[in-house]
């Protein structure tokens, strides 16, 4: 009976992880300060697509920042659109952090 309960608990954990993956969202930004007025959306997705965006970022050592509120705003935008004014402060703080980390690595 203990084995059955273990299997049941494992299945529940797996189901929870799969639900989290299904609900996960990711947005990738690009910003070329020499030609763009603001950062723009270059990739966006939910579930498996979000997982792929995150995996590609990791493979290329691209910094990842998790912010559920920000991803909710940005995931509603079209690809190649610039971030909205209400997201500027948050994105600017993230970019400043990334630039600082990149400078420290060198």
Label residue 80 left, alpha or beta by phi (over 0 means left) and psi (-120 to 50 means alpha): left
Q: Which domains does the chain have, with CATH numbers?
A: 2-105 (3.40.1690.10)
For the stretch 24-83, pLDDT in tens is 899 999 888 899 998 999 999 998 899 899 999 999 888 888 888 889 889 999 999 998
**Which residue from 63, 24, 25 is spatially nearest to 43, judged by alpha carbons?**
25
pLDDT of residue 45: 93
pTM assigned to the model: 0.71
């Amino acid at each position: 009976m203990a084995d059955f309960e273990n299997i049941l608990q494992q299945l529940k954990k797996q189901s929870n992880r799969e639900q989290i993956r299904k609900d996960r969202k990711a947005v990738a930004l690009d910003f070329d300060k020499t030609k763009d007025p603001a950062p723009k959306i270059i990739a966006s997705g939910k579930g498996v697509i979000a997982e792929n965006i995150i995996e590609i970022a990791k493979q290329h050592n691209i910094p990842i920042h998790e912010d559920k509120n920000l991803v909710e705003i940005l995931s509603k935008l079209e690809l190649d659109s610039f971030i909205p004014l209400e997201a500027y402060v948050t994105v600017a703080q993230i970019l400043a952090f990334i630039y600082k980390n990149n400078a420290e690595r060198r």
